[in-house]
Structure 1
Amino acid sequence: MQADAPLDLDALQALLDDVPAPLEPLDVSMLDGYLTAVALQPKAPPPAEWLRWVLDSEDGRAPPVGYNAEPIRALAMRRLQQLDAAIRHRQWFDPWVFEPVDEDGDDADPEDWETILAAVYPWVAGFALGADAFPRGLMACNNAELLEGLAGIYQFLDPEDLEDADELLEAIEAIEPAAHLSEAVEVLVSHSLLLADVSRPQKGPQKAPHKSGPRRPGGPPRSGGGGGGGRPPRR
């Protein structure tokens, strides 16, 4: 099967849901943000190193003896290869971000700030996990050069989760909040590619990333997650 073939997200989520307790696996949206951060590492971590955080986002604990993680590893590796290719060639990619539904089961208002936060927070939380899991990689790059890219992505986190990051918080405060969920999704991609210019610089002339346009958010219901409790819109 080709690495760029679409993945069955429902099947992947079912596999993640079946990871045995007490492990706390990522859901598919968090997984996508996490793998994006893995793809941005200057040196690719070995699969065993990044897989342990997929299976247990709390402490990276090993699964019980006899548990077969290969189906998850294989699907996650395919997605990582897709993200790696997009980042290497500075091409647009579609994050696994899904629009929440309201109490009646209808799509929530994509222009509402709380809807935007609820939709992108799992992806951003997964990204933050991937960035922090390998402190000698992406986060060891020049802080000043990382600032713009990180601010664009971390603006959707709760400011209380960004302790001792005054410069980052100041940069976030200067950002005009997204007015629509699709705009927020574009921010995730564009700022991931900004980070790629720091951690995985290209040689020779660079082309502007090809933008296919964000897909309409939608997909399997997510378990867990929550809003980031971020700043209110400045608009």
Structure 2
Amino acid sequence: MKHPQYNPQLATAPLSDAEIDQLDELLAALPGDDVMDVEMLDGYLTALLVSPTLPPADAWIPRVWGGAEDSPAPFASGKQTKRFVQLVLRQIAAIDRQLQGDFDRFEPWFDMAVIEDVEVVDAQAWCAGFLHALDLTQDQWQDHWDQPDVALALRPISLLGGDGLEPADAEEVDTTMKRDRMSRLVPDAVEALYRHWRPLADDEDEDDLGDDAGSDTPPAA
């Protein structure tokens, strides 16, 4: 099945609470251990947008339900599949607008709880989804992993969402409050990773302006 590509030019409304619940129910009803929940999905979509180029829809959408590229959707009907894809595309559009705007408005879907009147944040599932997307786009990042700003920004995400951590690393997130503190670093980490690519884009724009300006300059006499 060919899935529609994300088009940032289309005007779409953010998901309502009822639509988020519907998306959660659609995911929860799917079989398999590799199906994402809504928190993991949100992290996954964010990382796709943070990466320089969004992969084709047929490559990234099936991974939401644990499938490979072009694998059939496991929903009960074509109508359910269409509705699911519509909701996902609207959510990626909402995240895209947040990333392109003021990062103070960036609102990732972290798991939250209140323990003894204290709000506690846990971004483990969200970060696992983020890393899943980086695995899909690793060819775009392969020359950047060791750059200091990338390595520093990825650390809280990797500690919270990674598997098989070294004992010293696992100790940094082995309690609820440690995970809370680490989770609160993630939004700034996402901004750093997103901004990592902006200077490259700005430089290309400046080069284009320079070329255009040069073409309008008359030759020296």
TM over 0.5: yes
Q: Is residue 94 of structure 1 aligned with residue 97 of structure 2?
A: no
The structure in which a higher percent of residues are helix is 2
5+ unaligned residues in a row in structure 1: which ranges? Answer: 101-106, 205-235
**Aligned residue runs from structure 1 range 27-38, under 5 A:** 27-38=37-48
5+ unaligned residues in a row in structure 2: which ranges? Answer: 1-9, 204-221
Cα RMSD of the aligned pairs, angstroms, is 3.5
Identity %: 20
- Aligned pair count? 182
Partner SS for 1:143: coil
Amino acid at match of 1:198: H
* Aligned residue in 1 for 2:7: none
**Aligned residue runs from structure 1 range 7-156, under 5 A:** 7=16, 8-19=19-30, 21-22=31-32, 24-56=34-66, 61-64=71-74, 67-68=77-78, 69-89=81-101, 91-92=103-104, 93-100=106-113, 107-109=114-116, 116=121, 119-144=122-147, 145-156=149-160
CA deviation string 1:2-24 (max 9, x = no partner): 534343211110111233x3473
Larger radius of gyration: 2
Amino acid at match of 2:27: L
The structure in which a higher percent of residues are strand is 2
